[in-house]
């Protein structure tokens, strides 16, 4: 195996396991057991890839949250394919990443216009996850430099089962689902009874066709309050990172 320190495309390959499940909250155990065959197939497929992102301990990072605490679900597509960017949460990037991906920059523009929140100085959305916002991509790995390269390899079945699991909880538990773009909106048949907010994707190719002005953050908070739950604090404070100057691609 190539030394991971010499090839960023292979930094995510482990000799013993393809992705690390040790950080997954035990509340997800039954949902993951239902797709064990798919997960095993994915491990075999990914083990034969020349490299993958994110790192093994970040592939299932979204599942570190207690599923009983999830109150908002935001569905993404697949991880950023640039080495060093993806960190296991949909739309989120590692704190040092500059410039921000354009989709995330557009999310921040809508956040500012919707709630008047100042544009964050980093792209790490962990503070949302800490409040029960499940940032889940449909596909949880990608070949470096090749967006969409791990689609239709089994991840869709895994993440659909995770979403079914969340939706099937006690109806008294609050849940708002935010679906950006056609790929995410294909999940609508699984979301019977959930409060759903849909719009165009924040990608620069579609943001002006319905994402900007959709007010997903204030609408999600209003739906949570209506369900008897506290709103999410969508502001993102400073994080410890080495690059204080923010540059965005708008």
Residue 200 Ramachandran class (φ > 0 left, ψ -120 to 50 alpha, else beta): beta
Q: Is 78 a catalytic residue?
A: yes
Catalytic residue among 3, 48, 78, 130: 78
Find tokens 């599942």 and name the residue: 63
Strand locations in the chain, DSSP E?
A: 72-76, 133-137, 176-180, 195-199
∠ CA 221-158-31, rounded to 5°: 75
Cβ atoms of 175 and 40 closer than 8 Å: no
Find tokens 């924040």 and name the residue: 202
Write out the DSSP string of 88-133: SSTT-B-TT-SSBPHHHHHHHHHHHHHH-PPPPSS---HHHHTTTE
Which residues are catalytically annotated?
78
């Amino acid at each position: 195996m190539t030394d991971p320190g010499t090839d960023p495309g292979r930094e995510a390959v482990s000799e013993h396991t393809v992705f690390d499940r040790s950080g997954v909250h035990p509340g997800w155990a039954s949902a993951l057991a239902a797709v064990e065959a798919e997960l095993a197939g994915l491990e075999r497929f990914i083990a034969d890839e020349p490299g993958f992102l994110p790192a093994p301990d970040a592939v299932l990072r979204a599942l570190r949250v207690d599923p009983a605490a999830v109150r908002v679900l935001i569905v993404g597509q697949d991880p950023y394919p640039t080495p060093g960017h993806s960190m296991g949460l949909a739309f989120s990037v590692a704190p040092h990443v500059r410039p921000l991906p354009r989709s995330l920059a557009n999310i921040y523009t809508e956040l500012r216009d919707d709630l008047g929140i100042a544009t964050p100085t980093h792209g790490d959305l962990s503070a949302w996850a800490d409040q029960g916002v499940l940032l889940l991509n449909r596909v949880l790995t990608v070949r470096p430099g090749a967006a969409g390269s791990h689609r239709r390899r089994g991840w869709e079945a895994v993440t659909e089962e995770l979403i079914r699991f969340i939706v099937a909880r006690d109806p008294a538990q609050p849940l708002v689902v935010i679906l950006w773009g056609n790929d995410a909106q294909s999940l609508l048949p699984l979301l019977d009874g959930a409060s759903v907010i849909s719009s165009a994707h924040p990608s620069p190719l579609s943001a002006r066709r319905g994402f900007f002005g959709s007010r997903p953050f204030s609408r999600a908070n209003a739906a949570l309050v209506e369900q008897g739950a506290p709103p999410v604090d969508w502001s993102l404070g400073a994080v410890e990172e080495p690059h204080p100057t923010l540059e965005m691609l708008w």
